[in-house]
Structure 1
Amino acid sequence: MRLPRFLGMLLAVLMTALLAAPAALAEPPMRLNTYVTDSAGVLSGSQRSEVGDAVDTLFDKTGIKLWVVYVEDFDGMGWMSWAQQTEKLSDFGNDDALLAIATGERSFAFVVDPSMTGGSSTLTDNVRRSRVEPALRKDDWAGAAIGAAEGLAQGKGSGSSSGSGGSAASMWPVLVVLALAGLALWGWLRIRGRKRRRDEIAAAKRVDPTDPAQLAPLSLDALDALARDIVVDVDNAVRTSEHELELAVGEFGPERTAPFRAAVENARSALSQAFTVRQTLDDSIPETPLQRREMLTRVITSAGRADRELETQTAAFEELRNLLINAPDRLDALTRELVALTARVEPAKAVLQGLHEQFSDTALASVTGNIGEARDRLTFADASITRGRELLARPAGDQSELIDAIHSAEGALGQADTLLDAVDSAASDIKRATAALPEALADIQRGIDAAGTLLTSADAPSAAELRAARDAAVAAVQVAQRAGESDPLGAFGRVTAADADLDRVLAVVDAARQEAEKQARMLDQALFTAESRVKAVSDFIDTRRGSIGPEARTRLAEAVRQLEAARAKRATNPAEAIAHANGASTLAAQAQTLANDDVRASQRQMYGGPGGFSGRGTGGGSDIGSVLGGIIIGSMMGGGRGRGYGGSWGGGSWGGGRSAGRPSSYGGASRSSGRNYSGGRF
């Protein structure tokens, strides 16, 4: 009967507390981002400046960073708990001090690390009693913060100066030697740094400026120097190319110079963008290192590509100029080549007639018309050479068509040579194809069988492409079996082409299958790791739930969600499933770390300092474990009898729960984690 009665009383207390809660918005612990935070709005503009000046002066004199925060209330936590949570959220160190003032509930916290005051709490207590509390009782909110800053500055200064006069004279020689050594070291490091920077910039100029991957390892200084140099180089190249373009248009005409004009325009556009980015980098608005790296890389790569395109087009025009200069010699060489190929026509015709006596017309279909085609190419080449000699006699400005004539003659002679070579090699090619065809058929059949085996699987990768390649190979085999004797060369060509395509698809399928197997192994391992970590941290929190806060539980809940997503996508998208599983592992590890911190903090609060467990009259360590594990609920809520933790903790009754965490005196002091905590009501 006691439990229902207790629950009823508890419900009544909670309802009363909710109804009596103030209308003002509570101020939970926060991460402080500025040294003066006025959430309560009690400071005027000038007062805020005065407090800021006092905080800055304290830091300049002593190195102590005093953080001042004004709130309406401490969210029902009590001054000490609120201060501890705010310190944790703000990543405070040994040189950080906190003055938190709840103006509405008239409570404050003053936290100073003992290392700031020579290991003693006397200075902190004196500043609190003589400067902070008197000002707070008069509602002098700015005066309390200024008094705290000035008191810490005076106490720190006087403490550090004591006992130093007698040894100051003896320290001068040492200080001079140290100063000289430091100066020498500074000079050496400066010289070494300059040399290292020169070497790094020299190395940066040897990388490919168009490849972002090669630019990634470079430092920001090297990237900046490279960007400056390449912009200047490309600007000079554009200016030179514009002049060269004018000459090239007059020399070769607008049509032939169109690629060069496009390259110049692209380079000019890339250069304009580079100058815009350079101006952004050089203005008064700073960029983050990542933004600066991205912008410098963009400048270098765009300018590098433009410069490379200009170089390519410049080389092409140099070749054209050389061709014009050497045109007489080139036309003579083409004439000699024309005569030699013309002499090969009749012998090639005789060879072709002999082939028709050995092989069928179908087998020789690919070379039957070669003699006539070769004669046509030679006639066209002769006309182009003649036209070239006519253009060569014209003035230099009227010779732009000469390049086309030379290129046309070169192309025609090259094709005639290929046609005649095909006739000369036809006999040996046919015999070789006839001998190699059986092995080619056997090889393609092995590929067809392998493809058929893979296609029986429902989840075969690239099944449509594989089926098409398999069917094409089967068709090539059927054609070769029908026409292998009459056209062995054609049959061999079709079989080898189909076999090569089938082998390519089989290689792709095999690589995909191996990748799928690898992903499956990785996914199994990722899921196993995630499940193990999630279960471990879940068990940890479950058995210590009395001391675990919301942060660890939130990370665990998100880890569980990621794990469920990984399981859901296991069959449809293994890559995403792996990402979800790895995310679950990371979140579980974070939850474990946060849970460990919460348990250690609870153990310190229970074992150490006033109000901690003494092990007498409370059941000893077993009761502590029960509390941490969340088993003993009544004691934590202040409703149990004979198991209250008793004593004051941070100026208030810890046994009354968080809602009873306010101190009962006008100012007490306590210690937690080695820091001096003082505060209370005012």
Structure 2
Amino acid sequence: MAGFWGRRKREEEAAQQAQDDDLARRARTALVAADERIRSTSDELEFAAAELGETATGPLREGITAVRTHMAEAFHLHQLNHDEIPDTADELRTRNARIVQLCEWAEDVLDERTEALRERIATVRQAPQVIERVRTDVERLRARLPQTRDTVARLSGRYSDAALHRVAANPDEAEQLLDFALHSADVSARRREARRAEEANVALETATEAVRRAGTIIDGVEDFEIEALRAQSTLAEVVADSRQDIVAARPLMQSGSPHSAEVTEAVADLEAALAALPGPGTASDPFADLAALRDANAALDTVVDKARRRAERPLPSIEQVRHAVDAADHAIAVAHSVIAGHRGWIGADARTRLAEAQRLRPDVDPLLSSEETREEALTLARRVQQLANEALQAAQRDIDSGRPDGDDWGGSGWGGGPGWGGGRGRPRTGGGDILGPVVGGLLLGGLLGDLFD
């Protein structure tokens, strides 16, 4: 009899675990869908405001603001599910249920506000002028492509393949998007001439989004060069700072000093990181070099702090804290650039870590005003940098797992967030088709055959 009750209890526990796992999956999916819906609707809001004015689009803008406020809570709850503090099953279940509730509410609010503007937008949209602007933007961005390719080629002689991985394909991706934007604009014009206004608007919105994304990708090459030069400059400063830290730590390596073994090991690791830096003229990855050196430097700082804890020690210098703050800002900027430029491929983990880093970043600045909180500012800045780096790593894994193999238009499906032309629930790509996030509702009304005949 005892065996019967034991088996029944195990079956109940297994059933509950399956329900909890399903709820966690729903929470992650809802988080990504709601976040993408907010981004897509925000893009469309600016388009509508230019046509209808701020008064008409005011309710939608207010709705987006409210939704973003509550989605910040959802991202924070998802972050708590994955931090280092163990959680009970009830805590995880409660948080995931709340995430699903917040995301569903966000989608309902945006549905209501966008539906109210749909007919007015279709009535007042100045399609011929917008199509002409798309064509002008396409030609303007095409004129930048040769310089962008030259920049990538020049950077390939200065930086390693690992460093260039994020932007090496940008010129080809941008050219593909521009071709697609021009073709979509032509489809929009033909559908409008055929008095199929809704389909024409969908195609035109797709063309506009493709041009916007192409511009972002082209700008990303220049942004990469600027950030790489900044990383190299910062690296030189961190090298000098690391050498000073090693000199300052040597007295603590003496036998009998507190934590002397840990200090000795940390000094050796930092010296190894300095020795591993590439020499002049060698293709390098300044981001990886800077990250490795910062990690070793931070490890030495930690054990030195422990060694000096029993005695008075000077607070971290304001320069050291500002270096950490700059590193956090740099890490957020890089992660944001990658996620914004490849939104269709990015999952919940990368988005959550970036949102958490952005949430914590404003808390650093007030701590810089007082010596009593300077050490806390340093710790928090490093936490922000860690979260942003984790967001970038997670985003890069998502991109690498879905980047297309070279098919100009192909993919295993179509993606795209909801906009004015359609709602949620469109088929999504199973791979990383560069066109996936901008195709949107092109399946509506037979547009697929016209676009890719």
Structure with more of its chain in strand, by fraction: 1
TM-score scaled by structure 1?
A: 0.25
TM-score scaled by structure 2?
A: 0.36
Decide which structure has the larger Cα Rg and report it.
Answer: 1
Structure number with higher relative contact order (C-alpha < 8 Å, ≥ 6 residues apart): 2
